[in-house]
């Protein structure tokens, strides 16, 4: 285990921001996590746990220790009449886990294909796409308490999942290092193809008999057509959450803007499409030096070359202000700002 100083994080964040960490270390086991946290040099040093670097924006250098979580392994740990229970190390690439499950006919993650990032971040963000969220197939996770140096197991209820939310972004923020996640996956698939363009894409593919392999392929095709590849253009996927407003506030908006996109929720609120709001404000496809809003998806902010994080943050501020002014709706960032 090698602790390095003044380490560039450019290749470790999908925005490709050239920030550096005062200290940097990669951990490959729980014992190595303990070793770092027990090192007296870092007792009072700020700590940032880094996975795939796909949901954060560095606006400055990190004056602490960045701990890169590389815990690996994907294992079928048990099964019953209806479910497979698959445990994955937090450092596994998310899409690799999805492919592993699809290849073994473990159903439930196919709609979440090609989401960037690592397994450990999936419950923190309650990642979701095309009508499915992690909470729908999550069983439990194990996490290492940074101060107590103990391992705790969290079940679904413990995590307090919400829309792109969990307890790890609020009450327990910066207190735990997730080491593994266990998923409860179906032996008898329940297909979810009503959201977005999945059904249309399956028709174009000529699929006669529905299966999880076909759904995954359709999702990958759609994502590749709409979203830039982070390996080619710096981005973190959706930068903003889809805002949720009260029905009483939505009705006047619908009268003023008949084409506004909104989805009724079980709690009586309406979820708006943030991308539509941003596009109506004229941001889609706009570039400002090295930063901009992607031409195919207004939710995606991009670093075209060598932008710094502050430039992207400032752009997001301007977008949020314009949406607030035009629609009276406050956008919230999905990306974590460092």
CA 124 from centroid of its chain's CA atoms: 8
What is residue 227's DSSP assignment? S
Angle of helix 94-103 versus helix 212-226 axis, rounded to 10: 150
pLDDT in tens, 26-60: 999 999 999 999 999 988 899 999 988 988 999 99
The pLDDT-based confidence of 196 (bands split at 50, 70, 90) is low
Q: What's the rounded Cα separation, in Å, for the pair 232 and 247?
A: 40
Counted residue by residue, the chain has a size of: 338
Structural domains in the chain, sorted by start: 4-69 (3.30.43.10), 74-186 (3.30.465.10), 234-337 (3.90.78.10)
Kindly tell me the sign of the dihedral angle through the C-alpha atoms of 35, 37, 41, 42.
Answer: positive
**pLDDT at residue 195 greater than cutoff 80:** no
CA distances from 137 to 107, 110, 181, 200 (A): 9, 11, 11, 25
- 3-class secondary structure, 19: coil
Neighbours of 236 (CB within 10 A): 25
**Predicted local distance difference test score (pLDDT) of residue 52:** 87
**CA–CA separation, 258 and 283 (whole Å):** 20
Question: Residue 15: CB partners within 8 Å, gap ≥ 6?
Answer: 57, 58, 234, 235, 236, 303, 309, 312
Q: Mean pLDDT across the chain, nearest whole number?
A: 93
Here the tokens at position 6 are: 């003044």
Which positions are annotated as active-site residues?
Answer: 164, 238, 334
Annotate 240-276 with b (16+ C-beta within 10 A) or e (fewer): bbbbbbeeeebeebeeeeeebebeeeeeebbbbbbbb
Q: How far, CA to CA in Å, does 129 sit from each of 115, 192, 201, 234, 279? A: 8, 11, 15, 20, 20
List, for residues 131-177, the tens digit of each pLDDT value: 899 999 999 999 999 988 899 999 999 999 988 889 998 899 989 99
Token digits of residue 131: 């009508």
> Residue written as tokens 């996109």?
261
């Amino acid at each position: 285990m090698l602790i390095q100083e003044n380490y560039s994080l450019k290749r470790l964040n999908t925005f490709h921001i050239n920030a550096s960490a005062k200290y940097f270390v990669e951990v490959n086991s729980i014992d190595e996590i303990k070793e770092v946290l027990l090192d007296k040099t870092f007792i009072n040093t700020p700590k940032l746990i880094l996975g795939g670097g796909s949901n954060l924006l560095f606006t400055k250098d990190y004056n602490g220790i960045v701990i890169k979580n590389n815990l690996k392994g994907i294992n079928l740990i048990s099964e019953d009449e209806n479910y497979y229970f698959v445990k994955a190390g937090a450092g596994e690439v998310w899409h690799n886990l999805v492919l592993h499950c699809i290849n073994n006919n473990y159903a439930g993650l196919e709609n979440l294909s090609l989401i960037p990032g690592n397994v450990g971040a999936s419950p923190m963000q309650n990642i979701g796409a095309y009508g499915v969220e992690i909470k729908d197939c999550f069983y439990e996770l194990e996490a290492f308490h940074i101060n107590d140096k103990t391992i705790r197991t969290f079940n679904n209820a413990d995590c307090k999942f919400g829309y792109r939310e969990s307890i790890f972004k609020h009450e327990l923020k910066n207190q735990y290092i997730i080491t593994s996640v266990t998923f409860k996956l179906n032996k008898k698939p329940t297909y979810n193809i009503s959201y977005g363009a999945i059904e249309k894409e399956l028709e174009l593919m000529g699929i006669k008999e529905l299966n999880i392999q076909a759904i995954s392929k359709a999702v990958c095709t759609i994502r590749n057509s709409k979203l830039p590849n982070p390996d080619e253009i710096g981005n973190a996927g959706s930068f903003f959450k889809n805002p949720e407003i009260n029905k009483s506030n939505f009705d006047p908006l619908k009268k003023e803007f008949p084409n506004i996109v909104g989805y009724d929720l079980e709690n009586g609120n309406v979820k708006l499409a943030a991308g539509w709001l941003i596009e109506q404000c004229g941001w889609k496809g706009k570039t400002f030096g090295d930063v901009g809003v992607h031409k195919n998806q207004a939710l995606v902010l991009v670093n075209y070359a060598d932008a710094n994080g502050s430039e992207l943050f400032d752009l997001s501020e301007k977008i949020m202000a314009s949406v607030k002014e035009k629609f009276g709706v406050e956008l919230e960032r999905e990306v974590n700002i460092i």
